[in-house]
């Protein structure tokens, strides 16, 4: 088996073992009313499970990079000036979400939005990007192309979340899994395109955190306006990916010549 595919295989094995064992225990213990999902034990198990992709990525890294310096370099690396791409993605996404209702969640003060983004980026979803977009997506893209790689990553990512719908009291249960799954596919195209243009795990983490925070901060209605705007946003992301890829290939050819 190809060395890169072997790396993805190990990453997925470790990710699902760490997460599904942790969240599986939560499913069992909460449904037996032995723990509360918001209690100390519940929060610890949830936290460990949520960091499954992060831990798994570090486990499959080259031994020479499996240290603080190597991990920081892996996260912080980016194309020069690509923070502008992140900003454009953030602004376009915010307006696409906001314009469906033009309402904010009254329970979350405006000043808390940046705090939410930071928390979500590093502790509430964004941390997963070390694996999904930083490791798995690029390897699959080389072998299968952008669309197939994104759909496979998105499907795996969605299924990885599945135990949350069986944990008693978990807020994910308020959203039908199919709805979450479809949104996850859309997010995967956005995140994959952003990573392609920035080559930055950190920016993918921040954008992932922004997406999660926005879902809480903005009152979203899955109406026709939302569907149209998000579809256009996804199409823009796909076109941008192909533009970056074409430019990179052209530069490679020129370098050879």
Closest CA to 26 of 47, 45, 54, 51: 45
Is position 212 within any domain? yes
Tell me the pLDDT of the chain averaged across its residues.
Answer: 95
Say what the pTM is: 0.95
Whole domain around residue 209: which residue ranges?
Answer: 77-256
Please determine, for residue 252, whether its predicted confidence score (pLDDT) is greater than 80.
Answer: no
Average pLDDT over residues 216-235: 94
Pair 219, 170: CB distance under 8 Å? no
Is position 70 within any domain? no
Is position 102 within any domain? yes
Is position 197 within any domain? yes
CA 27 – CA 211 distance, rounded (Å): 26
pLDDT tens-digit map of 190-202: 999 999 999 999 9
Is position 61 within any domain? no
In total, how many domains does the chain have? Answer: 1
Average pLDDT over residues 61-85: 95
Is position 151 within any domain? yes
Is position 14 within any domain? no
Tokens for 65, please give them. Answer: 């990079």
> In this structure, what DSSP letter does residue 218 have?
B
Is position 172 within any domain? yes
* Backbone φ and ψ of 104, nearest 5°: -105, 160
CA 75 – CA 49 distance, rounded (Å): 20
pLDDT band at 254 (very low <50, low <70, confident <90, very high): confident
Please determine, for residue 161, whether its predicted confidence score (pLDDT) is greater than 90.
Answer: yes
The single residue listed with the structure tokens 């900003």 is 87
* Percentage above 90 pLDDT, the chain: 93
> In this structure, what DSSP letter does residue 88 have?
H
């Amino acid at each position: 088996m190809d060395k890169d595919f072997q790396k993805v295989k190990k990453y997925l094995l470790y990710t699902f073992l760490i997460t599904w064992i942790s969240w599986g225990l939560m499913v069992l213990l909460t449904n037996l009313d032995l723990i509360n999902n918001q209690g100390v034990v519940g929060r610890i198990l949830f936290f460990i499970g949520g960091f499954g992709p992060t831990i798994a990525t570090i486990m499959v890294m080259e031994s020479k990079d499996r240290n603080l310096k190597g991990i920081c370099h892996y996260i912080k690396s980016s194309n020069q000036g690509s923070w502008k791409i992140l900003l454009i993605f953030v602004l376009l996404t915010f307006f696409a979400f906001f314009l469906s209702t033009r309402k904010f969640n009254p329970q979350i003060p405006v000043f808390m939005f940046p705090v939410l983004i930071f928390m979500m980026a590093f502790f509430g979803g964004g941390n997963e990007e070390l694996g999904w977009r930083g490791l798995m997506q690029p390897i699959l893209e080389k072998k299968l192309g952008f669309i197939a790689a994104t759909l496979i990553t998105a499907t795996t990512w969605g299924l990885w979340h599945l135990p949350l719908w069986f944990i008693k009291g978990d807020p994910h249960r308020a959203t039908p899994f199919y709805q979450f799954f479809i949104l996850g596919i859309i997010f995967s195209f956005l995140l994959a395109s952003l990573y392609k243009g920035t080559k930055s795990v950190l920016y993918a983490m921040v954008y992932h955190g922004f997406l999660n925070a926005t879902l809480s901060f903005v009152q979203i209605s899955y109406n026709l306006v939302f569907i149209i705007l998000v579809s256009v946003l996804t199409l823009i992301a796909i076109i941008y990916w192909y533009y970056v890829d074409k430019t990179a290939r052209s530069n490679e050819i020129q370098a050879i010549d």
